[in-house]
């Protein structure tokens, strides 16, 4: 059953405007507010004036779970709060500021009555008022806590980036017993929580836009290491792979950003490899190809990450300038024991062979997995705990 949200919106200083400027102006303000809200609500959802200076929004299809619906309702509500922040100018008069307090109740199917949902969102709206207005609150305390946690994490992340709490770890890629390169994996050394996994903070960084600064830091740091290694007879032969987020990749300045990181550090572009996910490639194929071809012209290599997990369209394998695909570890893990996964891995290997692509097996943990792969592709690149865990730079060098 799909989840939705009922939002109760109340203007924060309407009474004051109404009392000082008169009801005519009050009415015009309400109309202006309604128009801005309408721009934030999808056409097939509902926006209604509930009376006085209250509006109600019903968002229907927000996802399969209440948590997902909460995240999306929050996003929508933030958009509405944001839409109010520009001043209202009515009849060429003085600009007026008006903000909203928003209460949110999540529903799933039709368990609760409309009255009950209105009551809940109303209660949450009063919490938003009590919290200082121009704010949103959830009726469900657990959802509220999750939101507060996200907001705190985001602030921590910004502070952490400014104070040098991020590090790159390096994990070896091996071919026939030799190290050929490393994947740089981001780590956040949080002062209280210790090392936090990128799986926990990258999605949030994507959402709040911090990924742009974070991604730039990763690129610069990896290029500096690369330049440093170049002077060493063995390290100088290795590649470094950097993960790139969709939002970062689609930024207008992505190509110059990569080139600057390389030039700034004095690193060889041919030793840098960018790991992209399938999802990213499918968003805007023409723009993607243009950017890849440009970077490829400087020698930068491309890997297709988590291969097999997305809505794989094999057609782009022949259109995109990629050199390497990485078989997702979910297939690698099961390949020796599960016939379906084994066949999938064999299929990927044969497609890769046909297109002349190098193959990396991710997450190789056991000898049985390595044997399965070696028997079918002797030149395969292994990456996984069996060969080496991601380590801080000093340990990696040692």
Note the residues at the interface with ligand C2E (CB under 6 A): 171, 185-186, 197-199, 202, 215, 218, 243-245, 275, 305-306, 329, 362-365, 384-385, 390
CB of 360 to ligand C2E, least distance (A): 10
The residue (of 55 and 170) whose beta carbon lies closer to ligand C2E is 170
Residue 278 sits in the site that holds Ca ion (CB under 5 A): no
Q: Which does 198 bind (CB under 5 to 8 A by kind): Ca ion, ligand C2E, none?
A: ligand C2E
Binding mask 360-389 for Ca ion (x = CB under 5 A): --x---------------------------
Structural tokens at position 350: 């044969």
- What are the two backbone dihedrals, phi and then psi, of residue 55, each rounded to the nearest 5 degrees? -125, 155
Return the residue of 12, 53, 156, 275 that touches Ca ion, per CB under 5 A. Answer: 275
**Do residues 393 and 185 lie in contact, with contact meaning Cβ atoms separated by under 8 Å?**
no
Q: Which does 365 bind (CB under 5 to 8 A by kind): Ca ion, ligand C2E, none?
A: ligand C2E
Q: Which of 80, 133, 144, 132 is nearest to 106 (CA)?
A: 144
Residue 239 sits in the site that holds Ca ion (CB under 5 A): no
- Stretches 68-76, 166-174, 267-275, 374-382: which one binds Ca ion (CB under 5 A)? 267-275
CB of 167 to Ca ion, least distance (A): 17
CB of 271 to ligand C2E, least distance (A): 17
- What are the two backbone dihedrals, phi and then psi, of residue 24, each rounded to the nearest 5 degrees? -60, -50
Residues 287-306 that bind Ca ion (CB under 5 A): 305-306
The residue (of 101 and 243) whose beta carbon lies closer to ligand C2E is 243
- What are the two backbone dihedrals, phi and then psi, of residue 356, each rounded to the nearest 5 degrees? 65, 35
- Stretches 99-107, 112-120, 275-283, 331-339: which one binds Ca ion (CB under 5 A)? 275-283
The residue (of 188 and 229) whose beta carbon lies closer to ligand C2E is 188
Contacts of residue 313, defined as CB under 8 A and 6 or more positions apart, other chains included, come to 282
**Residue nearest ligand C2E (C-beta atom):** 384
Strand partners of residue 57: 7, 47
The CA distance from 29 to 96, in Å, is 9
Q: To the nearest 5 percent, what fractions of the chain are helix, strand and coil?
A: 50, 25, 25
The CA distance from 135 to 130, in Å, is 9
Strand partners of residue 326: 360
The residue (of 77 and 373) whose beta carbon lies closer to ligand C2E is 373
Structural tokens at position 16: 């004051």
CB of 341 to ligand C2E, least distance (A): 15
Residue 243 sits in the site that holds Ca ion (CB under 5 A): yes
The residue (of 10 and 305) whose beta carbon lies closer to Ca ion is 305
Residues 302-331 that bind Ca ion (CB under 5 A): 305-306
User: What is the pairing mode between strands 178-190 and 135-138?
Assistant: unpaired
Q: Which long-range contacts (CB under 8 A, 24 or more apart) does 209-212 make?
A: 209/247, 210/154, 210/157, 210/158, 210/161, 211/245, 211/247, 211/248, 212/247, 212/248, 212/251
- What are the two backbone dihedrals, phi and then psi, of residue 94, each rounded to the nearest 5 degrees? -65, 145
Residue 171 sits in the site that holds Ca ion (CB under 5 A): no
Residue 12 sits in the site that holds Ca ion (CB under 5 A): no
CB of 252 to ligand C2E, least distance (A): 18
The residue (of 156 and 305) whose beta carbon lies closer to Ca ion is 305
R_g over Cα of the chain: 26
Q: Which of 283, 285, 278, 277 is nearest to 311 (CA)?
A: 278
The residue (of 6 and 244) whose beta carbon lies closer to ligand C2E is 244
CB of 266 to ligand C2E, least distance (A): 21
Q: Provide the residue count of the chain.
A: 398
CB of 305 to Ca ion, least distance (A): 4
The residue (of 103 and 390) whose beta carbon lies closer to ligand C2E is 390
The residue (of 218 and 223) whose beta carbon lies closer to Ca ion is 218
Instruction: Provide the 10 A C-beta neighbour count for residue 142.
Output: 11
- Sites of contact with Ca ion (CB under 5 A): 243, 275, 305-306, 362
């Amino acid at each position: 059953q799909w989840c939705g949200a009922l939002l109760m919106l109340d203007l924060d200083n309407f009474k004051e405007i109404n009392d000082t400027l008169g009801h005519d102006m009050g009415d015009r303000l309400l109309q202006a507010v309604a128009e801005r809200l309408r721009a934030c609500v999808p056409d097939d959802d509902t926006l209604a004036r509930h009376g006085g200076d209250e509006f109600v929004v019903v968002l229907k299809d927000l996802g399969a779970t209440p948590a997902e619906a909460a995240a999306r309702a929050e996003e929508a509500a933030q958009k509405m709060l944001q839409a109010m922040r520009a001043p209202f100018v009515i009849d060429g008069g003085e600009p007026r500021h008006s903000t909203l307090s928003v209460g949110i109740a999540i529903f799933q199917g039709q368990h609760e009555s409309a009255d009950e949902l209105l009551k809940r969102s109303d209660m949450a709206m009063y919490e938003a008022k009590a919290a200082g207005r121009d704010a949103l609150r959830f009726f469900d305390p657990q959802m509220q806590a999750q939101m507060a946690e996200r907001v705190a994490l985001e602030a921590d992340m910004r502070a952490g980036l400014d104070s040098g709490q991020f590090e790159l770890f390096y994990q070896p890629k091996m071919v026939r017993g030799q190290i050929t390169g490393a994947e740089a994996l981001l780590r956040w050394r949080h002062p209280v929580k210790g090392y936090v996994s990128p799986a926990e903070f990258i999605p949030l960084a994507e959402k709040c836009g911090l990924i742009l600064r974070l991604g730039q830091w990763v690129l610069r740091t990896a290029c500096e290491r690369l330049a440093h290694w170049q002077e060493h007879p063995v390290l100088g032969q290795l590649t470094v792979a950097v993960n790139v987020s969709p939002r970062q990749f689609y930024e207008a300045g992505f190509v110059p950003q990569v080139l600057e990181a390389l030039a700034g550090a004095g690193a060889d572009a041919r030793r840098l490899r960018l790991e992209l996910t399938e999802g990213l490639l499918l968003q805007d194929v023409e723009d993607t190809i243009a950017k890849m071809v440009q970077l490829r012209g400087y020698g930068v290599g491309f890997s297709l990450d988590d291969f097999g997990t997305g809505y794989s369209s094999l057609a782009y394998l022949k259109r995109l300038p990629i050199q390497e695909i990485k078989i997702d570890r979910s297939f690698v893990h099961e390949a020796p024991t599960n016939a379906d996964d084994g066949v999938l891995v064999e299929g990927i290997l044969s497609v890769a062979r046909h297109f002349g692509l190098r193959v990396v097996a991710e997450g190789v943990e056991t000898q049985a997995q390595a044997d399965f792969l070696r028997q079918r592709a002797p030149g395969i690149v292994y990456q996984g705990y069996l060969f080496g865990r991601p380590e801080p730079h000093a340990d990696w060098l040692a």
